[in-house]
């Protein structure tokens, strides 16, 4: 049994390295794609979003607001407009993503104790820009408003501290516990890497049995295995698993440190999650490959299964906000559980006890896929015996 297992293991390694498609998908492409993700988001935080100023007041107070905009690390003034038509054209050309409009009589109204309005036009077609600009614009306006109010209250003889208490009777303090600087690198790259890893594993592994059927080499495989489903499955599984172990090591000990992606939790826990994630995807692909003899159809099935995984995972839109039918689909995908568990370990420093549900589901998917593969290969071995007879 041991010698048959080793023969299949070595045979599968040869098949992987002899076939450019498998070699490319399993080894070369992951390295290129993982590095690409890291370089794309290396800046981490979006800075210097181009904005314009339409100052129709030209007062000392409007100048103070412009200085506040200039001091923001997220915003960069690239143009000064002279009418609203220019503002519209700048939005359409894409040269700016926001415009601050200070109306005529702005300072005069403030001095007369009247409310005055600053209009911030935002290109909301891009939600990322929209949220950053809205946050910074709100901070700028609140800062200027507080400064004006503080000056008025102090002019009545109140001390600085008492004036602050009058302006802010209720203060709020926020503490960002995880991903405190809202880094896109720390948030997006681990998720994109996990999704890509799942896609690469399934596309390469779905050819494991279907290619044997398509190329008529399954009977040879059966003879080498000594008619053992166990030898066939474990031999092939070991070879692909060892290759993807190198991908896991690449991610955790080269990609993450190189791009300074923070891992607050234990590397052993994160490594464990990657291991069961890889095993789950391998065995799901094995199950599909053992059931579908046509390798093109088998590939189409796993591509169809994987394509929506990133959207359905809850990574970009919460599962609880999705329609029930879509959330149900999401819960059938390994990537959903990988994202939940990896975030808990990487950002929240959770122990494995906090992700026991995800581990149980991974284990169930592994067992179900293994049973399906075993039954399917056993059935095909029986049929191959008839052919050999």
pLDDT in tens, 128-154: 888 889 988 888 888 888 787 777 776
Q: How many domains is the chain built from?
A: 2
Going by pLDDT thresholds of 50, 70 and 90, the confidence category of residue 387 is low
Q: State pTM to two decimals.
A: 0.85
Instruction: Clarify whether residues 158 and 207 are in a common domain.
Output: no
Rounded average pLDDT over 228-255: 94
More confident residue, 365 or 42: 365
Residue 18 lies inside a defined structural domain of this protein: yes
pLDDT, position 130:
87
Same domain, 155 and 231: no
Q: Do 305 and 205 belong together in one domain?
A: yes
Residue 89 lies in a domain: yes
pLDDT at 375: 96
Confirm whether 155 is domain-assigned. Answer: yes
CATH number at residue 101: 3.40.1710.10
**Confidence at residue 385, expressed as pLDDT on a 0 to 100 scale:** 63
Q: Are residues 132 and 99 in the same domain?
A: yes
178 in a domain, yes or no? no
Residues 193 and 161 placed together within one structural domain of the fold? no
Q: Which of 199, 206, 239 is nearest to 338 (CA)?
A: 199
Residue 187 is part of which domain span? 2-42+183-388
The C-alpha atoms of residue 247 and residue 196 are separated, in whole angstroms, by 11
Asked if residue 282 and residue 377 are part of one domain, the reply reads yes
Q: Is residue 86 part of a domain?
A: yes
Do 95 and 130 reside in the same domain of the chain?
Answer: yes
Alpha helix stretches (DSSP H) within 19-114? 20-23, 29-40, 60-71, 84-93, 106-111
Q: Which distant-in-sequence residues (6+ apart) come within 8 Å of 203 by Cβ? A: 25, 285, 299, 302, 303, 306
Please indicate, yes or no, if residue 138 is contained in any of the structural domains.
yes
In whole angstroms, give the CA distance from residue 376 to residue 85.
68
As a whole number, the mean pLDDT across the chain is: 88
User: Across residues 248-260, what is the average pLDDT?
Assistant: 93
Domain presence at residue 172? no
- Tell me, yes or no, whether 234 and 348 share the same domain: yes
**pLDDT (0 to 100) of residue 253:** 94
What is d(CA 206, CA 296) in angstroms, rounded to the nearest whole number? 10
Check whether 388 has a pLDDT greater than 60: no
**Distance from first CA to last CA of the chain, Å, rounded?**
22
Residues 204, 299 share a domain: yes
- Within this chain, do residues 291 and 373 fall inside the same structural domain, yes or no? yes
pLDDT of amino acid 109: 85
Q: Which of 119, 139, 167 is the last residue of a domain?
A: 167
Of 125, 140, 167, which one is at a domain's C-terminal end? Answer: 167
- For tokens 């209250």, the residue is 153
| End position of a domain, from candidates 112, 136, 167 | 167
The pLDDT value recorded for residue 168 is 67
Within this chain, do residues 238 and 91 fall inside the same structural domain, yes or no?
no
Q: What is the mean pLDDT of residues 97-113?
A: 88
For the chain, percent of residues with pLDDT exceeding 90:
44
Does residue 347 share a domain with residue 301?
A: yes
Kindly tell me if the per-residue pLDDT of 222 is higher than 80. yes
Would residue 176 count as lying in a domain?
no
Residue 170's φ and ψ, nearest 5 degrees, are: -120, 125
Distance CA 161, CA 155 (A): 13
């Amino acid at each position: 049994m041991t010698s048959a297992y080793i023969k299949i293991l070595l045979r599968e390694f040869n098949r992987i390295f002899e076939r450019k498609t498998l070699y490319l998908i399993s080894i070369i492409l992951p390295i290129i794609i993982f590095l690409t993700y890291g370089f794309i988001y290396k800046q981490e935080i979006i800075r210097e979003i181009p904005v314009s100023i339409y100052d129709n007041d030209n007062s000392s107070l409007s100048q103070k607001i412009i200085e506040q905009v200039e001091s923001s690390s997220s915003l960069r003034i690239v143009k000064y407009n002279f009418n609203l038509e220019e503002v519209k054209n700048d939005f359409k050309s894409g040269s700016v993503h926001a415009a601050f409009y200070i109306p005529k009589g702005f300072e005069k109204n403030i001095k007369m104790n009247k409310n005055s309005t600053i209009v911030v036009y935002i290109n909301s077609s891009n939600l990322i820009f929209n949220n950053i600009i809205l946050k910074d614009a709100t901070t700028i306006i609140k800062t200027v408003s507080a400064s004006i109010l503080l000056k008025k209250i102090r002019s009545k003889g109140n001390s600085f501290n008492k004036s602050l208490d009058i302006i802010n009777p209720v203060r709020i303090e926020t503490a960002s516990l995880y991903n405190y600087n809202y880094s896109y690198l720390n948030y997006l790259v681990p998720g994109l890497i996990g999704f890509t890893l799942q896609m690469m594993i399934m596309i390469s592994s779905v050819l494991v049995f279907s290619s044997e059927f398509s190329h008529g080499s399954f009977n040879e495989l059966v003879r080498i295995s000594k008619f053992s489903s166990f030898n066939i499955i474990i031999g092939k599984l070991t070879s692909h698993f060892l290759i993807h172990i190198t991908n896991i090591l690449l991610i955790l000990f080269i990609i993450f440190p190189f791009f300074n992606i923070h891992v607050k939790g234990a590397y052993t826990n994160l490594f464990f999650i990657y291991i069961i994630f890889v095993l789950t995807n391998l065995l799901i692909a094995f199950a599909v490959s053992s059931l579908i003899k046509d390798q093109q159809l088998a590939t189409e099935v796993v591509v169809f299964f994987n394509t929506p995984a990133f959207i359905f995972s809850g990574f970009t839109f919460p599962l609880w906000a999705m329609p029930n039918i879509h959330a149900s689909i999401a819960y059938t995908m390994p990537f959903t559980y990988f994202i939940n568990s990896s975030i808990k370990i990487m950002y929240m420093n959770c122990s494995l006890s906090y992700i026991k549900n995800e581990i149980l589901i991974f284990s169930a998917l592994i067992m179900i896929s293994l049973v399906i593969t075993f039954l399917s290969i056993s059935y095909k071995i029986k049929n191959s015996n008839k052919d050999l007879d």
